[in-house]
Structure 1
Amino acid sequence: MQSPLFAFTEQQSQERYAIQNPQMLRIHLEGHDDVLARKGAMVAYQGLIEFDGEYQSGQQQRARANTGEGLDPMRCSGQGTIYLANLAQYIHIVDIDQQGLVVDSSYVLALDSVLHTESIAVDSQYGISGSGKYQLNISGSGKVALMTSGQPLMMQVTPDKYVNCDADAIVGWSKSLRVQMQAQTSSSNVRRRRGNTGEGWELSFMGSGFVLVQPSEVLPPQNVVMQGMAAQYGMGQQGARGQNRGNVWE
């Protein structure tokens, strides 16, 4: 049998985390280095691998219920190789160090189990819980695999060059940055979505570090009908980001 399909063979690599192709991640386990992965993200594996639900304390469960952020992953352990993917999204490997990473948990595909995660609140000068209000803070030393819809843009932030990003397009940023949620409206009513421009909440970053933005404002899955003013203006859990249940930890 012959086919161009046979050209898509396994990529040989000595790295523990390796990109099999732009939309598939390969992780090698040696029996002492468990990985936490998005539930249902396994597409193939080789060897003796076990998949188990990850225990969450009552505090973690309450925090996730109250904020909409936090991980509810599966634990991958054993000896062998696992392949992970999600909706053909692009995958990127990040080495976490002392700098730390703040990220929307919707975009986490996998991470080393030794890393520490906690939900944090993003400042809002208006005190409105809008899209991007809570994020996931990842600290420690290890690797994280992130997903983006399309090829992302990495933007450098310096003390004399701050960056503003759409709250629905932001993937993550370095922990050292100062961030504030704001809405540049021309109306005294801050709930107005910038008149008829279609633009809403944004995050403003200052300091020294980086910001990762994807070329897509997260859209709801097919056949989902959103209703109400909150959905129209993309705010909170009723907005496009909140309703995108296909891209969150279940």
Structure 2
Amino acid sequence: MQSPLFNYTEQQTQDRYTVQNPQLLRVALTGHDDVLARKGAMVAYQGLIEFDGEYQSNQQQRARAYTGEGLDLMRCHGQGTVYFANLAQHVHLVDVDQDGLTVDSAYVLAMDSSLNHTVVAVDSQYGISGSGKYQLHITGRGRVALMTSGQPLMMQVTPDKYINADADAVVAWSSGLRVQMQAQTHSSGVRRRRGSTGEGWELSFLGQGFALVQPSEVMPPQHANIGDGVLAQFGMGQQGAHGQNQGNVWN
């Protein structure tokens, strides 16, 4: 049998993580620690591999229940190679160091089991809900595979150059950055959501690091119950500062 499909054979490499193609991740488990992956993300594997549901602590379960942010993970261990993918999204590898990584859980495909992840609240001077309100803080040393809808933009943040990005397009950022959630308004349009531009809430990044932005916006924000109309715009929903979550905090 002949076909151009035979050009898409597996890559031969000794690396633990390999981007097989822009939408497919190859992970070698032989001689390495376990890998944690998004539930249901396995598309193929070779060798003797076992998949187990990852235990969630009581704190992680409470965080997921209150914030909607969290990871549904499976633990992959054994001897062999596993291939992961999710909705044909683009896959990118990030090495996490002492600075840590803050990321929307919707964009995590896999990561080293040695890494830790906790839910954190992003500062909001308006107490609103959105994709930037609660995020995952990943710490330790290891590698994370992130996903984006299309090819992303990596924006460098320096003390003399801060970055603003649509809260629904931001995927991840350096945990050392100072972050504020805001909406640009002016005196004649304070009652309108950015006037008639169609733009919504933004994340503002200050300090030294990076912010990863994808060419796609998730609307409405994932896992957020923010109400309708004006309620959604001014934080009046159940998860807004004027609803059940007074003060934009989780504990």
Please indicate the TM-score interval, normalised by the length of the shorter structure: 0.7 to 0.9
Give, in whole Å, the separation in 2 of the partners of 1:48 and 1:237. Answer: 46
Q: What are the Cα deviations for residues 16-59 of structure 1, in whole angstroms up to 9, with x where unaligned? A: 00010000000000265111101110000000011111111121
Give, in whole Å, the separation in 2 of the partners of 1:34 and 1:74. Answer: 10
Q: What are the Cα deviations for residues 145-184 of structure 1, in whole angstroms up to 9, with x where unaligned? A: 0000000000100000000000000000011100000011
Q: What are the Cα deviations for residues 110-159 of structure 1, in whole angstroms up to 9, with x where unaligned? A: 00011010010000111223331011000100000000000000010000
- For residue 98 of structure 1, give the secondary structure of its aligned residue in structure 2: coil
Give, in whole Å, the separation in 1 of the partners of 2:88 and 2:180. Answer: 31
| Superposed counterparts of 1:1-250, under 5 Å | 1-30=1-30, 32-186=32-186, 192-219=192-219, 228-229=228-229
Q: What are the Cα deviations for residues 46-101 of structure 1, in whole angstroms up to 9, with x where unaligned? A: 00011111111121101011111121211111110000000110000111111211
Question: Aligned residues, how many?
Answer: 233
Give, in whole Å, the separation in 2 of the partners of 1:237 and 1:89. Answer: 31
Give, in whole Å, the separation in 2 of the partners of 1:187 and 1:168. Answer: 25
Q: 1:231 to 1:78 in 2, by over 3 A?
A: farther
Using the aligned pairs only, state the percent identity.
76
Aligned to 1:242: none
Gaps of 5+ in 1: 221-225, 239-250
* Letter in structure 1 aligned against 2:216: S
Give, in whole Å, the separation in 2 of the partners of 1:155 and 1:209. Answer: 9
Give, in whole Å, the separation in 2 of the partners of 1:14 and 1:196. Answer: 53
Offset of 1:186 from its aligned partner?
Answer: 3.0
Q: 1:232 to 1:134 in 2, by over 3 A?
A: closer
Q: 1:99 to 1:48 in 2, by over 3 A?
A: same
Gaps of 5+ in 2: 221-225, 240-251
Q: 1:60 to 1:195 in 2, by over 3 A?
A: same
Give, in whole Å, the separation in 1 of the partners of 2:2 and 2:193. Answer: 55
Offset of 1:233 from its aligned partner?
Answer: 5.3
* Letter in structure 2 aligned against 1:75: R
Offset of 1:187 from its aligned partner?
Answer: 5.6
Give, in whole Å, the separation in 1 of the partners of 2:202 and 2:99. Answer: 23
Give, in whole Å, the separation in 2 of the partners of 1:195 and 1:209. Answer: 31
Q: 1:115 to 1:188 in 2, by over 3 A?
A: farther
Offset of 1:185 from its aligned partner?
Answer: 2.1
8 Å contact 1:200–1:234 — kept in the other structure? no
Q: 1:219 to 1:11 in 2, by over 3 A?
A: farther
Give, in whole Å, the separation in 2 of the partners of 1:40 and 1:180. Answer: 34
Give, in whole Å, the separation in 2 of the partners of 1:99 and 1:15. Answer: 24
Question: Which 4+ stretches in 1 moved above 6 angstroms?
Answer: 188-191, 234-238
* Letter in structure 2 aligned against 1:181: M
Give, in whole Å, the separation in 2 of the partners of 1:152 and 1:231. Answer: 31
- For residue 11 of structure 2, give the secondary structure of its aligned residue in structure 1: coil
- For residue 60 of structure 1, give the secondary structure of its aligned residue in structure 2: helix
